[in-house]
Structures are given as C-alpha cells and as structure tokens.
Chains A and B, each alone.
Chain A
Amino acid sequence: MKILVAEDEYDLADVIHDMLEASGYSVDVAENGQMLLDMAEQSAYDVIISDIMMPVKDGLTAIKELRASGSLTPVLFLTAKTQVDDRIEGLEAGADDYLTKPFAMGELLARVRAMTRRGRLYQPKVLTVFNVTLDTEKEELSCHNSISLAARESHVMECFMTSPGTEFTTEELLSRFWKNEDNADEDAVWMYISFLRNKLRSVGAKATIKGDKGGSFSLVEE
C-alpha cells in the first residue's frame, strides 16, 4: 500500500516516513500542499496524511482541490490546532480523520490501518466523473445509454474513476487486479483497457483511458 505524507517539518516527516515504512507501507513525502497535489496526480495513493499549516499551499486548500478533482483517496489531517472549528473545517474540506499534534506514532499507525481497512465500503457505489457514471454494485457504466461490465472491468474502471487523471502503470494494474494470476501480462491489461475504452465510447462518454500497451494509463476527458 502506498501512502503520501505532506509535512513541512523535516524531522517529523522523517519519523513518520520511517515508522510507516517499517510497518510495510511504501511512503512518499511532499513538502507542501502543492507538492501533495502534483504527486497525487502522478501516482495513486491508498492514504494521504497531510499537515494543515504548510508553505506555498496549505493542507486545507490542497485537500479541497484534491476533492474537487474527483479524488476519493482517504485523507488524514495532522494539526497542531486544537480548536474545534479547525477540526470541523478540516473534515468539511474533505478529510476523513484528523490527529492533533503531538500524537503517538502508534495511534497514527492504528488510524491509517483503520482507514485502509474500510477500503471499498467507504466509497460510494455510484461514481460520476466527467459525464460518465459507474454503478459498482450493478457493474454498469452509463451516459447516453447503459452497458454492463464484467466484474474485473468494473473494478479497473472504479480505480480509474476514483482518481481521474492519475496515471496507473501496467505493473500496478496487474498487481491490483490480476493478483493471483501468474500468467497475466501486459496483454491482459491492454485487452481490458481496450474493452473499457470501447465501452466508454459506446455509452457516448466524453472520457477515455489514455495510454499505450505496456505503459501507464489514466482516465481523461475528451
């Protein structure tokens, strides 16, 4: 699982980084809110941990922008503030949880685990990005008309629609959606990308999956 930590205090970022990596997570660090947004667009994270007070762009603004772009990645705010209003503002901005500094590393780890445990349950069953809608329960894609998806198509589509614009490599997709299939390779991924592209086209979606065979793919507006 990949975690993005946005924290401008170098020492604290370092401690969090080491602790999470020691717990088996792969961790990237951003130094401010703008970096957070840039990095979240370039790769898909399972959880984002963000400080609120940061230079260049503060955490609240960054998370608001992240949510406005359609991202549903769980976010945990770290804040030195203890005012109730600030906590409310953080949650209203789109955060899922918060932790007040100073905190125990054990508690941070427990909260990260709780957030990732909730996983899919946590996300809505109906996602709408650009002009296309995915109903993950009915496994149905719709726009001008509707079309059924195979279970794997629905999972891959959900992944793209949860983080529109984010690039997923062929290897990432293979490890997520072809977990126990040793024979699966870039051809399998390419076939499913092709299925989804044509299904997006057939429902009249103003969106497609960009990318070439073996490379990285992302959902983009057309």
Chain B
Amino acid sequence: MTVYGGFEERLNIVAAGFMDAFERQAEAEQDSFGNKPYDHLSMRIKSEESMLKKCEADGLQLTPHNALKVIHDSIGVRVVCLFPDDIKKNAELIRQMPGVTVIREKDYIREAKPNGYRSYHMIVEVPDDRADVDGNLPGRYFIEVQLRTIAMDTWAALEHELKYKQNIKNPELIAAELKRCADELAACDVSMQTIRDLIRS
C-alpha cells in the first residue's frame, strides 16, 4: 500500500488534466511574436520518502487523508517563464481557470527566502470526476504551483542538490556564494526584463 492509498494514479491524472487546461488557457495569451507566456511546464508527484519526512516534520501520521488533504503539495506543477513579468501573467491565468480555486499565494520573489530562493507559490484546489479519499464527489485535489524564471529554476536545482549532498566542505562559504548567485541572477532577470520593455515600448 502506498502512502496515497491507491489514489496515486488519480494524482497523475489530475496533474495532467490541470496542465492541459492551463496550456489551453495560456494559448489565448500569446504575445505579438506568437510566444506563450511561459517556457515550459513540469510536474511531480511527491515521493513516498518525501511525504514521510514531511509528515514527520509536521507531526502528522502517515495516512492517505493526511497526505492528500492536510498536506497540500502531493501534486507539484512548475511553470517556468522567460521573464519575471511573465510570472504575474501566468499567476493571473491560473486565477481565471474555470473550476480552479486559489487557496493561498506566497510571493517568494518579493520576499525572497534568506538563502536566496525566489519563486511565486500558489496552492490551488481542482476537481476530479471520481471520488477522492474523503468520499467527496466530485473529488478535490490540492496542487502546489511554483512559478519562476529559468534563472530562478536553475538556481533552485543547484540549491536542491546542495541540500541533499552529505559532507560538503565549507558549507557556509557555499551558502554565501549561492546567495550571491541568487541576487546576481535576480539582477539579470530584472535587467533583461527592462531591456525587453525598452525594445517593445
């Protein structure tokens, strides 16, 4: 038995359905150059191991109800954009998606985490045509959507690697330099956004 109590397949279907619906929503938003407002989408279902750790950290028992209803990121969808302003555009698209309820938004771009992490997070609730773990019909699933630029995504990938690497020499130095990289990438994002605005104005 998995931590998701047999609902794992539904999670994949719900995630794919959300991404399809979002793509259709975004098609209408192509700019004058025929570009979508994002570069690419990706998704993941939280692994059993990660879910176990999260439940432990939150003082929760590892049950399908807790994994699907109390914890909100069993499904993760990432929207990776070219420019910082595109993030706002995509967040607005998500708010306008039919059937999608925004539960919470957190702006880690304006309030970057102390380590330098930047992304725009949204927790949304979406319907499914089968019953969910609590017996609701239509079922309801939570999705954590992370919106970020390619630069922020690259940075997060490196930071993720650091987090899971054991026995790193001089972790303070690495953390400080990683923070500096985050601020330089943010500077580059803003500069490129500015140049795009100047070219297009």
* Cβ A147 vs Cβ B110 within 8 A: no
How far is it, in angstroms, between the C-alpha of A198 and the C-alpha of B109 when the chains are bound? 13
Q: What secondary structure prevails in chain A residues at the interface with B?
A: mixed
For residue A43, CB closer than 8 A to chain B, the reply is: no
Number of chain B residues whose Cβ lies closer than 8 Å to a Cβ of chain A: 18
Number of interchain pairs (Cβ within 8 Å)? 47
How far is it, in angstroms, between the C-alpha of A194 and the C-alpha of B197 when the chains are bound? 9
How far is it, in angstroms, between the C-alpha of A17 and the C-alpha of B89 when the chains are bound? 58
Nearest chain A CB to B180 CB, angstrom units = 7
* Cβ A147 vs Cβ B183 within 8 A: yes
What residues of chain B lie closer than 8 Å to A204, measured between beta carbons? 110-111
For residue B70, CB closer than 8 A to chain A, the reply is: no
How far is it, in angstroms, between the C-alpha of A166 and the C-alpha of B174 when the chains are bound? 41
What residues of chain A lie closer than 8 Å to B84, measured between beta carbons? 202
Number of chain A residues whose Cβ lies closer than 8 Å to a Cβ of chain B: 16
Nearest chain A CB to B113 CB, angstrom units = 9
Determine which residue in A149, A190, A195 has the highest number of CB atoms from chain B within 10 A of its CB, and name it. Answer: A195
* Cβ B110 vs Cβ A148 within 8 A: no
8 A Cβ contacts from B95-125 to A: 109-112, 118
How far is it, in angstroms, between the C-alpha of A199 and the C-alpha of B191 when the chains are bound? 8
* Cβ B111 vs Cβ A202 within 8 A: no
Determine which residue in B190, B193, B194 has the highest number of CB atoms from chain A within 10 A of its CB, and name it. Answer: B190
How far is it, in angstroms, between the C-alpha of A146 and the C-alpha of B114 when the chains are bound? 10
* Cβ B180 vs Cβ A198 within 8 A: no
With contact pairs A191-B194, A194-B194 given, residues A145 and B112 touching in the complex (Cβ less than 8 Å): yes
Select A198's contact among B110, B111, B183, B194, beta carbons within 8 Å: B194
Nearest chain A CB to B156 CB, angstrom units = 15
* Cβ A199 vs Cβ B110 within 8 A: no
For residue A144, CB closer than 8 A to chain B, the reply is: yes
Nearest chain A CB to B104 CB, angstrom units = 19
What residues of chain B lie closer than 8 Å to A191, measured between beta carbons? 194-195, 198
Nearest chain B CB to A175 CB, angstrom units = 23
Nearest chain B CB to A147 CB, angstrom units = 5
How far is it, in angstroms, between the C-alpha of A146 and the C-alpha of B110 when the chains are bound? 9
Nearest chain B CB to A221 CB, angstrom units = 19
Determine which residue in A140, A144, A198 has the highest number of CB atoms from chain B within 10 A of its CB, and name it. Answer: A198
Select A202's contact among B184, B186, B197, B198, beta carbons within 8 Å: B186
* Cβ B194 vs Cβ A145 within 8 A: no
Select B190's contact among A140, A190, A195, beta carbons within 8 Å: A195
B residues apposed to A, CB below 8 Å: 84, 109-112, 118, 180, 183-184, 186-187, 190-191, 193-195, 197-198
